[in-house]
A = this chain, B = another copy of it.
Amino acid sequence: MESFDLALLEEVWSEQDFQDLRQKLLPTYPAAHYFRSGIIGSGLCVFSKHPIQEFTQHVFTLNGYPYMIHHGDWFCGKAVGLLVLHLSGLVLNAYVTHLHAEYNRQKDVYLAHRVAQAWELAQFIHHTSKKADMVLMCGDLNLHPKDLGCRLLKEWTGLCDAYLETRDFKGSEEGCTMVPENCYVNRRELEQFPLGIRIDYVLYKAVSGLYISCKTFKTTTGRDPHSGTPLSDHEALMATLCVRHSPPQHTSNPSHGPAERSALISVLREAWTELDQGMAQALWWATIAGYVIGLGLLLLALLCALAVGGGIREVAILLWTPSVGLVLGAGAVYLFHVQEAKGLCRARAELQHVLGRAREAQDLSPESQPALQPGRQEGDRAEEQ
């Protein structure tokens, strides 16, 4: 009904739901795409008034644990989708994403994965948007504004937060997108945050020579204005962005000065530490699984001996099932955590490289050297490995 240029949805788990939406929205949004991935699907889809020139997607390397079946994130294949649109002669790269959920903020076992996802998201945007005139990133980051992953994404891509930038905001208090007024929200989860939390975002940036401002920014407030029942457990975000040509000094990417560089260095360092701890944890689990495999094999050998030698034969046979299961299960856990460690190590290496180059740019005087511009081009540096 609002007739936006672009509508980006998350958690549309059923492809049939997407098809139904598609049929209903066809008059207003002739173009649409559903991003398929994983076993359940990424849940991401888009509806556009304008023709979609190109699309592709990147599925995150790390996305929780398959044995956390009750959380289910691993089965979704969470991803970032990219759409390329041509609007009034300008190239817009629009990204839609959904990161791993946070189930326990006090003891978050998925923190390293979410940081790795935020990094992969930032890298995907960085490497695929180099020729775009405008970048738009919308999605459920499952990250509070001050959380490491959110800062990492903003600092490395140079994206601005529409909620913080707008002068005309209407909606839930502090722009929260999970609010206690919403009947689908578990209020106990929001005990620490009486107003709610802001974990869904509209971020944007433009190349030099263009200037984007957020004219209006609205959120729903926990209930559908028509039926009273909210349309989703998260509040919808609605932004009107205004793109203007600007003189070069009014660039919208405020990432030139030493202050921005040192903010980037600090967040990169923090993320490096988090990924490093995650890696140690992954290797610890792999080691434990290795021991369990050894133990299981010993147990199997013992059971074979008992079954052959008589004695407690029936018990020995009965114990076969759990022992074989133990060995196979521990084997799978071992392989999973080895792969997890490799994925975290990969993100850490990419991050360390960027960190090293940012430090070098900082060490050189700002007069003699062009500053590091996140999301654009950078200075020289041999690889850190």
- Write the residues of chain A forming the contact surface with B, with a CB cutoff of 8 angstroms: 22, 30-39, 41, 48, 51-59, 61, 75, 77, 82, 86, 91, 123, 127-128, 130-131, 314, 317-318, 320-321, 324-325, 328, 335, 338-339, 342-343, 345-346, 349-350, 353-354, 357, 377-378, 380-383, 385
Contacts and interface: CB of A to CB of B under 8 A. Distances in A.
A372 to B, nearest CB: 11
A383 B353 CA distance: 38
Contact of A320 (B91, B321, B343, B385): B321
Given A54-B378, A56-B127, A127-B128, 8 more contacts: A32-B385, A36-B343, A36-B349, A37-B61, A52-B353, A53-B377, A314-B314, A317-B318
The SS class assigned to the A binding surface is mixed
Contacts of A32: 383, 385
- Listed residue (A41, A48, A55, A324) with the most chain B CB atoms within 10 angstroms of its CB: A55
Closest A-B pairs by Cβ, 3 of them: A130-B131, A31-B383, A36-B346
Contact of A382 (B30, B36, B349, B381): B30
Contacts of A57: 346
B31 A82 contact: no
A310 to B, nearest CB: 13
Contact of A131 (B31, B51, B131, B346): B131
Contacts of A317: 314, 317-318
Number of copies: 2
A369 to B, nearest CB: 14
B325 A37 contact: no
Contacts of A324: 321, 325
B22 A385 contact: yes
Contact of A339 (B77, B318, B349, B382): B77
Given A353-B54, A378-B54, A33 B383 contact: yes
A122 to B, nearest CB: 10
Nearest to A380: B51
Contacts of A39: 335, 338-339, 342
A51 B382 contact: yes
A350 B55 contact: yes
Contacts of A48: 383
